[in-house]
Amino acid sequence: MKKVSVMAIASILTVGSAFADFQPNNPSAVKTSPMGGFVGGKETIVTVKQVKEMRDDVPVVVQGNILQRMGDDKYLFEDSTGSITVEIDNEDWRGQTVSPADTVKLYGEVDAGLFKTEIDVDYVEKI
């Protein structure tokens, strides 16, 4: 009987943890109509320092400045806690022009590699 109870508890914990990170917390992951509209609750803005400690593929929103272009689709982003490389594809700009003086929000996900952590941006919002 103890083995059955232990197996049942282990199964519940495994299934629960598998679905713990299922809900998206960024507006880009929520399907919206082409007309726009309300997408949901308050977004949580994280810092560059926090991003560097996160695991791969975690959705994030960061706020700061894009300082310079570093190559094809690679840019240097900075907030008050540090700087990080971000990857922004052409369509992610959504027709906006941004300078280092402009404050932006970047919506994307963490791209954690062996030696370097970056943010793969889904879209840019100029503030």
Separation of first and last alpha carbons in the chain:
60
**Structural domain boundaries, residue 40:** 1-127
pTM over 0.95: no
DSSP-based three-state secondary structure for 31: coil
Query: Rounded to an integer, what distance in angstroms lies between the CA atom of residue 35 and that of residue 77?
Result: 30
The tokens 């803005």 sit on which residue?
Answer: 45
Number of structural domains (the chain) is 1
pLDDT tens, the chain, 127 aa long: 566 555 656 566 555 544 454 444 554 444 444 666 666 667 899 999 999 999 999 999 999 999 999 989 999 999 999 999 999 999 999 999 999 999 999 999 999 989 999 999 999 999 9
| DSSP letter assigned to residue 46 | B
The CATH number that applies at residue 95 is: 2.40.50.200
- Residue 66: is it exposed, middle or buried by C-beta count within 10 angstroms (0-12/13-18/19+)? buried
